[in-house]
Structure 1
Amino acid sequence: MGFCCCKDEPIDLDSEVDLYHFDLHRAVGKGAFGKVRVVEHKRDGQLYALKYINKKSIIAMKAVKNTVQERRLLEEINHTFIVNMRFAFQDDENCFMVLDLMLGGDLRFHYERKLTLGEDAVRFYIAELSSAISYLHSQRIVHRDIKPDNVLLDKDGHAHLTDFNVACHIEHGKALTSVAGTVYYMAPEIIYRKGYTFTSDWWSLGVMAFELLFGRRPFRGKKSVEVMRSIMHDTPEIPEATGHMASAEAKDCIMRLIEKSPSKRLACKPKGAGLAELRAHAWFRGYDWEKLDKKAMQPPFVPDPKKLNFDFSHELDEYMAPSELLTHQKRKNRDVNKLSKEMRQLEEE
């Protein structure tokens, strides 16, 4: 599994959870706001994913609000197809979130190696993710960054939505106007900045389905402004080249998810009726939704447990920068920690 670090003195496993309760294993991810590595709880041997974010980096990137918001949202939610948070704590240097471990890798990793994932697989992932998205919306949470990179597979091949860094609550009667997310997956209503709600997540799901099934994104450009212009004005064309064939039902479902008008977009009916509309679509004819929600349906693809289902460079980067390597080494204990104080002040603003 990798290198482990242990604390010399005995650990009280009944005390408040901290880094010493876990053995540290290999690094498996790196993003703009943090790193992820596999950890093992010393009490029961349960494996988790530890996401840790350096406080100096949070403050320098002015990302305190996002970090605090992500933790608070994860404390509220728990769903079969979401990467749920199990513990959260901090020390002088880092903020930590202990999450469900997904050993199957993300959809971007598998897509880039296969070019397309096949219609059965894409339909299965869209079905599972639709359940997660509908649940979030019922909690008045909009994710705002649904894309292949943020969908992780467990060891059995089930899809789980992760990365709530730009997710937020929507208050009753109030629309969002801030631009957030990844430009290729942004809904037109986000770009126009005239106000948007939960409908933007269904658009992003449709863009992702298009990409996974047809091998390219529906809206493209060399620069962000060109991508935005394409999203606002272009009608995507479905490639019909060999290897990209899809059923008429699949094409209809995906094109209706990327309908530019939110009021006409599939799954966007008000008062929670959107999920039922999606599930009633012909592309999902014959689906046993009760079995799917219980993870009782067999996934079309099971990741190989003998292979690394993530980019090995994450681990290489970790050990190429020993000054940034996460260890159990004791941090200096100060009565008033400058970084924690700054974090608290920024959180209160």
Structure 2
Amino acid sequence: MRQMGWRIINSSLHVWTQRMINFDHFEILRAIGKGSFGKVCIVQKNDTKKMYAMKYMNKQKCVERNEVRNVFKELQIMQGLEHPFLVNLWYSFQDEEDMFMVVDLLLGGDLRYHLQQNVRFQEDTVKLFICELAMALDYLQGQRIIHRDMKPDNILLDEHAPEMFNSKKEAGYSFAVDWWSLGVTAYELLRGRRPYHIRSSTSSKEIVNMFETAIVSYPSAWSQEMVSLLKKLLEPNPDQRFSHLSDVQNFPYMNDVNWDAVLQKRLIPGFIPNKGRLNCDPTFELEEMILESKPLHKKKKRLAKKEKEMRKCDSSQTCLLQEHLESVQKEFIIFNREKVKRDFNKKQANLALEQTKHPQEEDGQNNRL
């Protein structure tokens, strides 16, 4: 009996393992971006044919740059978030080389790309973007999360609306910093440059002094209502700055906004990205195929070779690195939003079924009485 019981448990465990999402469940279509130790590509899930963006981060580089904890923190935060104006996490998994995050795909490109293409956004479009981003910030604020890095580079477009990427929780900041960043972003979208002139060589002390003393200029072509809103968002004193969704909603300039329609993405902005082409730098694809020393499409062969090599630790440094990589392997957070939603819906259906059963049971008891 014990042996038979073990077979049943082992069999179900095997089936569960088979269902776990991994690299083989996706087809790699093309590379669309890169960071210091991570890259992003477009993928298609084999069974559903749904397309996503897949961010993958090299474990060894993360260990060497002491970034593992930050990656884990980002994963942990993104698992608990879901909102129409956030880039939502769908799956996270790993292999011996990389950690993977599969998120919503937005093919409209980021706002920095469009600014570099000399797009000048009209005031009505920026007004809608402010509304959408304010709702995203309000959601994050409700989750006690400070984004801390809102800028055109981190605001992505789909065919209808912008969404924010890379939520980060940081100590030492108040929520007001995100609303100030919203003001800076809106200003740059309207004017094509930031309200402050900061160079890479500018010291932190000079920057702080600049924010407190600099006079931001507003072109006369802008409406007074937009200028007044931007001044409230760019207020140097965080206690006097707009830092809640209600501040923006109650501002007279927003009286004509249907906020339910904003949340449901029913409002169409004046600027819609070109659907006929990919809105990103094409050199990412070229680098991945030609210059990349460890291209994604050759991963299987590389991992098989690496496994043989890592069996023999030829130096203490190699062994230490291997220990760190094994630690990452154990502590990595696996996530499947599709499964979470399926389990939730199943639970809700069971609850509904139970609720329909109880009245019948009570009727039966009354009849017996």
TM-score (norm 1): 0.80
Distance 1:260 1:58 in 2: 36
Partner of 2:43: 39
1:13 and 1:43 map into 2 onto residues whose CA distance is 17
User: In the TM superposition, what is the alpha-carbon distance from 1:235 to its structure 2 partner?
Assistant: 2.4
Give the secondary structure class of the aligned counterpart of 2:257.
coil
5+ long unaligned stretches in structure 1: 1-11, 170-175, 178-195, 269-273
Tell me the residue number matched to 1:260. Answer: 236
Aligned counterparts, 1:156-235, within 5 A? 156-164=159-167, 167-168=168-169, 176-177=171-172, 196-222=173-199, 223-225=201-203, 226-235=206-215
- Kindly indicate whether residue 37 of structure 2 is the aligned counterpart of residue 66 of structure 1: no
Q: For residue 300 of structure 2, what is the aligned residue in structure 1?
A: 329
- 1:139: Cα distance to partner? 0.4
Q: Which amino acid aligns with 1:224?
A: T
CA–CA distance in 2 between the matches of 1:322 and 1:199?
41
Larger radius of gyration: 2
**Identical amino acids, percent of aligned pairs:** 34
Corresponding residue for residue 292 of structure 1: 262
User: Which residue of 236, 244, 249 corresponds with 2:225?
Assistant: 249
Asked whether 1:341 is paired with 2:326, we answer yes
**1:215-240 superposed Cα distances (whole Å, 9 cap, x missing partner):** 21111122232444422431212244
C-alpha change, 1:112 and 1:227, in structure 2 (3 Å) is: farther
TM-fit CA distance, 1:342: 4.6
Equivalent residue letter for 2:213: H
Q: 2:122 aligns with which of 103, 107, 118?
A: 118
Between the aligned partners of 1:234 and 1:42, the Cα distance in structure 2 is 54
Tell me: CA distance 1:304–1:56, structure 2 relative to 1, closer, same or farther (3 Å).
Answer: same
- 2:300 & 2:235 partners in 1: Cα distance? 53
Aligned equivalents of 2:275 and 2:138: distance in 1? 30
Residue 168 of structure 1 aligns to a residue whose secondary structure is coil
* Partners of 2:160 and 2:265 within 8 A in 1: no
CA–CA distance in structure 1, aligned partners of residues 331 and 196 of structure 2: 37
Q: Whole-Å Cα distance in 2 between the matches of residues 145 and 212 of structure 1?
A: 16
Measure, in 2, the Cα distance between the counterparts of 1:138 and 1:88.
24
Give me the whole-angstrom Cα distance separating, in 2, the residues matched to 1:14 and 1:47: 21
Q: List per-residue Cα deviations over 1:138-186 (Å, max 9, x = no partner).
A: 00011100000000011x231110023xx116xxxxxx32xxxxxxxxx
Q: Secondary structure at the match of 1:116?
A: coil
Task: Write the deviation string for residues 171-224 of structure 1: whole angstroms up to 9, x where unpaired.
Answer: xxxxx32xxxxxxxxxxxxxxxxxx31111101111111111122111112223
Equivalent residue pairs, number = 300
Structure 1 equivalent of residue 344 of structure 2: none
The one-character-per-residue Cα deviations of 1:34-73 (angstroms, maximum 9, x if unpaired) are 1100000000110000000011111222211211111111
* Residues in 2 aligned to 1:32 and 1:125: alpha-carbon distance in whole angstroms: 29
Alpha-carbon distance in structure 1 between the residues aligned to 2:202 and 2:119: 23
SS of corresponding position for 1:142 = coil
Q: Secondary structure at the match of 2:19?
A: coil
- What is the distance in 2 between the residues matched to 1:263 and 1:33? 37
Determine the structure 2 residue equivalent to 1:83. Answer: 87
The equivalent position to 2:249 in structure 1, one of 266, 270, 279, is 279
Residue 274 of structure 2: aligned partner: 304
SS in 1 for 2:284: helix
> 1:13, 1:43 within 8 Å by CA — same for their partners in 2?
no
Q: Which residue of 1 aligns with 2:289?
A: 319
1:320, CA displacement in angstroms?
A: 2.8
Provide the aligned C-alpha RMSD in A: 2.4
The one-letter amino acid of 2:105's match is L
The one-letter code matched in structure 1 to 2:277 is: K
Partner of 2:217: 237
- Is the contact made by 1:151 and 1:162 (CA closer than 8 Å) also made in structure 2? yes
Indicate the residue corresponding to 2:34 in structure 1. 30
Task: Report the counterpart of residue 349 of structure 2 in structure 1.
Answer: none
Question: Normalising by structure 2, what TM-score?
Answer: 0.76
Aligned letter for 1:341?
A: E
The answer to whether 1:15 aligns with 2:16 is no
